[in-house]
Amino acid sequence: MRRKRVIGNWKMNGGLAANRRLLDELLPQLAALQGVEVAVCPPFPYLAQVAALLEGSGVALGAQDLYTVEKGAFTGEVGGGMLRELGCRFVLVGHSERRSLFGECDEVVAEKFAMALRAGLVPVLCVGETLAQRRQGQTEQVVSAQLQAVLRRSGIQGLAAGVIAYEPVWAIGSGETASPEQAQAVHRHIRALLGEFDRACAAATPLLYGGSVKADNASALFAQLDIDGGLIGGASLEAASFLAICQAASPRQEQERAQP
Ligand code: 13P
């Protein structure tokens, strides 16, 4: 059985004092939680601080991006090896904000995914359609193309060494969540696509949902067959809401849902 995971993407938020406050409140409560893998992805300048604060907590560290090559004359960019050295286990690649605001195409995302694997990081590949694409019935086609680019570059074994996060662009930061059924339908499609290459890889790859996940909708989303947890933006910036989402992913909650 796949373990549930919850990853907080802080985006461009936080500060030295705010990070400490958030983790001081969050970590003791998370320590009591069993059976959920939790990670947080602060902005680059705070990775070292957050790495130190997370030490011994069992909560993993992730970064929000990396460059396609390891090092060199690339002003402003960050290499995967640097992230590893700072204690990162995960790195987000192809977040829709990177794709739409910074022009990252599927091929660049695939290159970053491959670089993350080479650096010994677990890439969290974000895929998802815009509202216009959904309205035109192109959701599966868009998500498939985003996955195919990574499959061409890293193969099914490479893709399965990462995590996939389905984040419909229209649900990000909008307060409008995909319904559990809408999200499950895309997750099932992703798993079926992976299954065309390798059934075992398809069954083992963690598929997270992201897009306005909150304390009050997390349980219904996480109860879906192919949803293995969440990638959380806004609600990961506050201890109470992030904790509630992590609790919704815990196996005990799942049992309670199965036997009300
Ligand atoms: P929100 O949870 O704020 O909608 O953001 C989702 C997201 O983009 C996580 O990567």
Which domains does the chain show, CATH number per domain? 4-258 (3.20.20.70)
pLDDT reported for residue 175: 82
pLDDT reported for residue 258: 60
pLDDT reported for residue 176: 83
For the entire predicted model, the pTM comes to 0.96
CA 185 to ligand 1 centroid distance, Å: 19
Query: Is residue 177 very low, low, confident or very high in pLDDT (cuts 50, 70, 90)?
Result: confident
Alpha helix ranges (H) inside the chain: 16-30, 47-54, 80-85, 96-101, 106-118, 131-135, 139-160, 180-197, 199-204, 218-222, 239-248, 251-258
Give catalytic residues, as residue numbers. 95, 167
pLDDT in tens, 86-140: 999 999 999 999 999 999 999 999 999 999 999 999 999 999 999 999 999 999 9
Provide the token pair at 40.
Answer: 């947080």
CA atoms within 13 A on the CB side of 111: 10
pLDDT in tens, 42-56: 999 999 999 999 999
229: left (phi over 0), alpha (psi -120 to 50) or beta: left
Nearest CA to ligand 1 atom 5: 233
- List ligand 1's pocket residues with C-beta within 6 A: 9, 95, 167, 172-173, 210-213, 231-235
CA 112 to ligand 1 centroid distance, Å: 20
Name the residue of 11, 92, 130 to mutate for ligand 1: max ligand atoms within 8 A of Cβ: 11
CA 212 to ligand 1 centroid distance, Å: 6
Name the residue of 127, 131, 167 to mutate for ligand 1: max ligand atoms within 8 A of Cβ: 167
CA 95 to ligand 1 centroid distance, Å: 9
Does position 28 have pLDDT exceeding 60, yes or no? yes
- Among candidate residues 44, 39, 52, 41, the one with its CA nearest the CA of residue 6: 39
Provide, rounded to the nearest whole percent, the portion of the chain with pLDDT above 90. Answer: 92
